[in-house]
Structure 1
């Protein structure tokens, strides 16, 4: 059932078995499995999952390689709705551990918003991350090419960059150290752009020079290209650098601040989980990009199945077997 401001009241009293925060591939997969397991669930989605603006999902088994991410999400949402799962567009502000239940505070509506509180026995955090993109005055110019031949994931899209002139757009020296030499597995034709926001140390500068990787520290004015195909970068001094593809590595923002008051184990910015995606809290699960692992759509979907199954097994053991009452009369 699609929830809105008009029908929230009736849904704030019952306690859901599970609330899923995030309606991306992982969250939708979890929701579908939860409903197939006959568990009550509410999915709360802020909109625009990371995969929403990916134009082609080349790494999802069984789908045509030109399938847009938004198509996968729409089909997943329709599947979840067909199983009578509750869905709410809203922004989760806080999760409070009440002992046996969680209270989830949600802001609903971007204009004239209202606050609502929902409760559940279990929680699945599937809210993902947002990648930082080159901060230009005209961000539409970035989105013109992002998700086409301007990529954010080397694991997903490295093979699309094979032996192409690639711009590597870094947000820090650490990003260069971690990514550039791995990127060279796919292509050695790498030009590094700092956008003028940080300085590269002399040791790293010398190492990059040894491999012949140019460093461009002049800020970017705009990307250039046509029909979503990026062909280069125009710098603020008017010069043009020709490219055939690009990889953005400027960091990410994790959507997990609603868990800040719950003491969960982290590895860096990622939540630590067991093999079934359970965090250090026994009733909180983390899936997809929030947890330690590969940031892949197909893995997030698998994580959703794992988390939902673990929760069902636990509730099933607690509830016990259902008797055939007519045979006991």
Structure 2
């Protein structure tokens, strides 16, 4: 059921089999599988998953290519609630390992009206994802006019959409250029790199980019240009305009995993290291989706959720004695031996 401040007290003393932090594609998939395994689960969602503002999911098997991410998430949440899972809109602030259980402190509500319930579970699935850093403009709404349409944040997801188009690569660091630009050239060679004046490019890399014909623009961006959510270029702070047909933002991301700071886990960079089922270095904490090492794909996150939930069910099932058919045992005890001959 949908949990709110009005009925929180009904769950304060309940110990869930699993609390899932994050209600994106991975978290919802995990929740659906947990409920179908007859386990008790709670999804705590801060709202606006990364996939929420993806306007068209062109690479999700079985869905029309113009399906928005928000529609996928709505159907996923409805499915989860139909299986009697609990769903709470809130922001997880802290997780404490109490031994057999985890204590999860969550902020519910905003500002002075917030409450901070502590909810408990045997397992945790962290599916809270990442928040992309966007070009820092005075009018950030101007970015959201085009982000998720033809202004992309994932080359693996949307490289095909940029094939042979004039592409603006909006970089947040020199490292992002080294990591992404030459891979982006697989899809299009018509690349203009924008640094927004935030960092310098070393001479060797600059020469390498120029040798491939890629343009470098270091003047800050004033605004994106376009109409009907289709970006057609950028205006720079000096008044000049550069025409584009598409764009890829790679300015960095914030990993939403601060609530795990009390727990010693193994990381590779900012990503949690897991086994093939999503188990981290803590045997009762699983990581899925963007927080783990691997591809940042909606369909991959959904698969991660299924794997993590399945492994948790296996753990709990293996620690639980098989159920007995008591009525049949009683009947068998009453029957004479000849009845079995």
TM-score category of the 2 structures, normalised to the smaller one: over 0.9
TM-score by length of 2: 0.96
What stretches of structure 1 of length at least 5 have no aligned partner? none
Secondary structure of the corresponding residue to residue 120 of structure 2: strand
Aligned to 1:193: 194
For these two proteins, the number of residue pairs brought into alignment is 329
Aligned to 2:278: 277
- In 1: Cα distance, 2:204 partner to 2:70 partner: 43
- In 2: Cα distance, 1:202 partner to 1:280 partner: 41
Whether 1:261 aligns to 2:257 is: no
Aligned to 1:326: 327
- In 1: Cα distance, 2:305 partner to 2:210 partner: 44
- In 2: Cα distance, 1:194 partner to 1:83 partner: 48
Q: Please report the RMSD computed on the Cα atoms of aligned residues, expressed in angstroms.
A: 0.5
- In 1: Cα distance, 2:161 partner to 2:107 partner: 40
- In 2: Cα distance, 1:264 partner to 1:320 partner: 31
Give the Å deviation of 1:97: 0.3
- In 1: Cα distance, 2:270 partner to 2:310 partner: 25
Aligned to 2:40: 40
Aligned to 2:333: none
Whether 1:51 aligns to 2:51 is: yes
Q: Within 5 Å, give how 1:211-290 maps onto structure 2.
A: 211-290=212-291
Give the Å deviation of 1:328: 2.0
What are the Cα deviations for residues 292-324 of structure 1, in whole angstroms up to 9, with x where unaligned?
Answer: 000000000000000000000110111121000
Aligned to 1:62: 62
What are the Cα deviations for residues 51-100 of structure 1, in whole angstroms up to 9, with x where unaligned?
Answer: 00000001100000000000000000000000010000000000000011
- In 1: Cα distance, 2:122 partner to 2:155 partner: 37
- In 1: Cα distance, 2:63 partner to 2:305 partner: 19
Give the Å deviation of 1:261: 1.1
Aligned to 1:105: 105
What are the Cα deviations for residues 171-229 of structure 1, in whole angstroms up to 9, with x where unaligned?
Answer: 00000000000000000000000001111111111111101111000000000000000
- In 2: Cα distance, 1:67 partner to 1:110 partner: 31
User: Highest CA radius of gyration, 1 or 2?
Assistant: 2
Secondary structure of the corresponding residue to residue 319 of structure 1: coil
Secondary structure of the corresponding residue to residue 283 of structure 2: coil
- In 2: Cα distance, 1:131 partner to 1:165 partner: 23
TM-score by length of 1: 0.99
> Which 4+ stretches in 1 moved above 4 angstroms?
none
